[in-house]
Structure 1
Amino acid sequence: MSHDNLKVFPSVNERYQALVQSGELDMDPAQQQLALRFDRLIRDVATKRLATKSSALGWLFSRKSPRNEIVKGLYIYGEVGRGKTMLMDMFHQLVPVKRKRRAHFLDFMADVHERINAHRKALKNGETKQEDPIPPVADALAEQSWVLCFDEFTVTDIADAMILSRLFRALFERGVVLVATSNVLPDNLYRDGLNRQLFLPFIDLLKTHVDVINLDARTDYRLEKLNRMPVYLSPLNDESNRLMDEAWHAATEGATVASDSVTVKGRSVVIPKAGSNAARFTFADLCSKPLGAADYTAIIQRYKTIFIDAVPVLDHARRNEAKRFIILIDILYDNHVHIVISAAASPDKLYVANRGTEAFEFDRTASRLFEMQSEDYLEHAARPTAAAS
């Protein structure tokens, strides 16, 4: 779905209605109400932009903006696959602001920590006299983007928790508008976290600057379509490629598809294609590179549907790739991840060597690949996990 096509629709609701009329989406009243709420926010942002255009950045960097100048953003929570990300991405495309940013929340926080560390290094080297890194970091972030859209807003790291209140107070003072999607209520952020009482002021601050909306859509509409499609496609040919693309469209429809990355022990693991709650790789992306269990675990913590294209028949000469594939399938299976795979052969014929430990271990992998196609497995995979509820 081309981003250019989005530009011909002046509102999120009109874009949503067009997708419904084309048959790409089923009408859902909760999604439509959220689309209308996004359009109201677009009008609020556009009005503020026009009202402050003549004053350049005066409003943006005013730390004592009058109450009536605040544009309240949105915090949308709900179960996986209900359309939160899809609608937020439409908003991000259509909101008439040049300085805007759409990011996964954990990536944004990694950027914040890098900026803070850079400021501390500059202080140590005598390049600045400003001891507190938060104000200059907030200045830079607000200057670059005064509309921030975050996907998967979650707080699990104590380092993030301890700076969020001060950072976002500074951003809100600079006029930044926040839009975020999450699986949890604001009150449940950083639940049971270490020193959580120090985090609670952030929750109060957040709720004064956003309207909290529960997207209680009728179903996980993407998995509903995806579960009607085959999840293991072989052999590799034009038809399996077409069916993989069809399933990918069902998993990501309406969402922006782009590359992504996750950071594991200081290394960046590239995700070639990602949209909404799904990520797509080739076998070579995942198993021909020196990746391990920690990398695969980091990927599935962010994405709950994994596509793997072009799994080849493996032999003893490719035992290292086979070993990684064994580890990958174990992690996907143990975490009830929804998979869609295209392969050169059926699971029991993917590993043809009859020697080495991989030959024995691959029997388990083949068994799991068969089970991961079953209705029971797919039904379990569709349920939100405790962490995401």
Structure 2
Amino acid sequence: MVPPPRFDAVRFATYIPDPGQPSQREAVRVLEEFAGRLGDTGPAPGGLRGLFRRRSRDTGGDGPRGVYLDGGYGVGKTHLLASLWHATPAPAEHKAFGTFVELTNLVGALGFRRTVDTLAGHRLLCIDEFELDDPGDTVLVSSLLSRLVERGVALAATSNTLPDRLGEGRFAAADFLREIQGLSAHFRPLRIDGEDYRHRGLPEAPAPATDGAVERAAAETPGASLDAFPDLLAHLGRVHPSRYGALCDGVTAVCLTGVDAVPDQSTALRLVVLADRLYDREIPVLASGVPFDRLFSPEMLAGGYRKKYFRAISRLTALARDAGRMGGGPTGGTGEGDAGRVA
């Protein structure tokens, strides 16, 4: 549970705040202080002594045990979260970084009690893309974080909504809000305003390539995958999302033919997870068919999961720009048809 490869080298010093968004510079300042206090936090029986146990000007008394980075997609929340992980003065084995989905998968693999015991020895737990998509996960994570706070673990999380607003626009909203009200007390929210940096000052997403260009690029790029988009979606339905990262192992580029709007919400949510794993690993995506901003229907983009879908569009667009160097069929490849398959 460490930051993904894309964020191996990020630090607070490499985060470039937008001059027009003072909240970005303020977030860096608060997080640097947060990391510094973690360095003053020593171990105690039954876990680590809690963050902010002593009185501070930021929290006062026994304030929140963590920070919550709230903002839209593309404002650098994951960059800052990973920077906090790197800046925390503790060995890697005493701090953990993972997505919300990975955290719930960890509980599924180890069981609740063993997960608590495992993470209780950590100084910091960073949770990226904090999402509560069903009441079961809400109760699970609420209970887990409460136990960890009791054991003195500091928390940091990112998402696209404030802690007490997660779950709005989704089914069983009352159940979400009832659970999240308790969770939100553990965090000091930090609002990060700004535009999606992946689009700021950059050209529009490249137009889709032709099928032939995608196939040539796959054949000429060692380690590239080549899949028909419907086949990929069907395969994702047969693989647990916790394995999507392993699905990408050894893949240098993803080449897709026949990209079209996803047919249903379950498929769309699986595609969101894959997009996150591809983005984490900086794997370019070259595709034919419809542009990525037409992957999700207007109904999906107006629904409760809209922030996930917009994040996926943003990240896939960035990966499509990365694929521009492939040129829709580079001339310097092997030409030996060595493309593999993601599916």
The TM-score normalised by the length of structure 1 is 0.54
- Residue 155 of structure 1 is matched in structure 2 by 132
* Letter paired with 2:115: V
Partner of 1:269: 244
Deviations for 1:47-99, whole angstroms, at most 9, x for unmatched residues?
11xxx24x4x444389xx89957663111111110111111111111111221
Question: For 2:270 and 2:203, how far apart are their aligned partners in 1?
Answer: 24
In structure 2, distance between residues paired with 1:230 and 1:192: 32
State the number of aligned residues: 260
| Deviations, residues 111-138 of structure 1 (Å, cap 9, x unaligned) | 112323xxxxxxxxxxxxxxxxx44431
Q: Which of 95, 119, 123 is the matching residue for 1:146?
A: 123
Secondary structure (helix, strand or coil) at the match of 1:223 reads coil
- Residue 101 in 1 paired to residue 62 in 2? no
Q: CA deviation at 1:34?
A: 0.8
% same residue: 22
Secondary structure of 1:109 counterpart:
helix
Alpha-carbon offset, residue 205 of structure 1: 2.7
- Aligned CA distance change for structure 1 residues 228 and 193 (closer, same or farther; 3 Å): closer
Instruction: Report if the CA contact (8 A) 1:297-1:331 is conserved.
Output: no
Question: For residues 4 and 81 of structure 1, what CA distance do their matches in structure 2 show?
Answer: 18
Q: Is the 2:69–2:77 Cα contact (8 Å) retained in structure 1?
A: yes
Match of 1:333 among 271, 294, 303: 294
| 1:79 maps onto 2:67 in alignment | no
Measured in 1, the distance between the counterparts of 2:110 and 2:31 equals 31
Shift of residue 166 of structure 1?
2.1
Letter in 2 for 1:272: C
SS at match of 1:90: helix
Q: Which runs of 5+ in 2 are unaligned?
A: 56-60, 222-234, 298-312, 331-343
Counterpart code for 1:221: Y
| Of 33, 36, 48, the match for 1:43 | 36
| Post-superposition offset of 1:206 | 2.4
1:1-389 to 2 correspondence within 5 Å?
A: 12=12, 14-16=13-15, 20=16, 27=19, 28-48=21-41, 52-53=42-43, 55=44, 57-60=45-48, 72-98=65-91, 99-116=94-111, 134-143=112-121, 145-191=122-168, 193=170, 195-217=172-194, 219-227=195-203, 230=206, 264-267=237-240, 268-270=243-245, 272=248, 281-283=253-255, 298-300=270-272, 303=275, 308-309=284-285, 329=290, 333-335=294-296, 337=313, 338-339=316-317, 340=320, 341=323, 342=326, 343-344=328-329
Q: Deviations over 1:354-387 (max 9, x none)?
A: xxxxxxxxxxxxxxxxxxxxxxxxxxxxxxxxxx
Q: Please give the secondary structure, in 2, of the residue aligned with 1:191.
A: coil
Higher helix share: 1
Structure with the larger RCO, 1 or 2 (CA within 8 Å, 6+ apart): 2
Secondary structure in structure 1 of the residue aligned to 2:69:
strand
| Equivalent pair of 1:44/1:71 in contact (CA under 8 Å) | no
Q: Is the 8 A contact 1:70 1:175 kept in 2?
A: no
Give the TM-score, by structure 2 length.
0.60
Are the structure 2 counterparts of residues 296 and 332 from structure 1 closer, same or farther at C-alpha, using a change threshold of 3 Å?
farther
The residue identity in structure 2 corresponding to 1:84 is K
Larger radius of gyration: 1
Counterpart-to-counterpart distance in 1, 2:248 and 2:268: 14
- Where structure 1 has 5 or more consecutive residues not aligned to the other structure, the ranges are 117-133, 242-261, 274-278, 312-324, 346-389
Q: Say which SS state the counterpart of residue 198 (structure 2) adopts.
A: helix
